[in-house]
Amino acid sequence: MDYNNKTNDYFNHERPEMLAFLPKTCKTVLDVGCGEGTFAQQIKARHGAEVWGIELMSKPGEKAKKRLDKVFVGPCENFVEDLPEDYFDVIYCNDVLEHLVDPYTFLAHLKSKLAPAGVVISSIPNIRYHDAFKKIILQKKFEYEGHGIFDKTHMRFFTKSSIAKMYTDLGYEIISHKGINRTRSLKPYLYNIPFLFTAMDMFYLQFATVAKKAD
């Protein structure tokens, strides 16, 4: 996978829509795929939390080390065993799981790293987003691109229901599961006509999920 051709802002997103899911009482946070640490640094500034990060690429990872309490640089799967048990109030995976060869095993391993009341919070692209729907169904295309739903670095593709199934199959209890970054386009209304408006999930670019360990 080649991340070297990504634009600079790829590793520097603030993601306010994902900060909205952060429990206000959190004290320990892990940001998987932290980039330069921009998102996680906001958590430190607002909540005074201890924030760790994992970043695949060395250049943004080194920048994150200057902002966060502890940062691992390299594939996130390599550092699971280095993470403390029962420690993190929150583990963020913002647009990360779709880049992994085996997101299921990784997500399963994260359960033991959560504090008793801890949660995993993820953002995952929606393959049923209206623009992707148009390309696959109407244009009969499935072509990889430099960014977006069909990003060439994506190894897995998910829908709203498959995300929920992944979590529940792995022994998580879903607290919240909702669409984010809704399109302003009116085309999804048109595409919904033959489906009798039962495909409203195509309005959302991603789905944000908050889940805890099932009792």
Total-model pTM: 0.92
Number of residues in the chain = 215
Per the rule left: phi > 0, alpha: psi between -120 and 50, beta: everything else, 54 is beta
Spatial contact of 39 and 62, defined as CB atoms under 8 Å apart:
no
Host H or E run for residue 121: strand 114-125
Would you say residue 169 lies in a domain? yes
- DSSP class of 126: B
Q: What is the CATH number of the domain that holds 163?
A: 3.40.50.150
Would you say residue 190 lies in a domain? no
Task: Supply the Cα-derived Rg of the chain in whole angstroms.
Answer: 17
Chain segment 13-72, per-residue pLDDT in tens: 789 999 999 998 999 999 999 999 999 999 999 899 999 999 999 999 999 999 999 999
Would you say residue 138 lies in a domain? no
Domain range spanning residue 79?
8-127+155-184+204-213
Question: Would you state the structure tokens that stand for residue 82, as one six-digit string?
Answer: 């280095």
Q: Rounded distance, CA 75 to CA 58, Å? A: 10
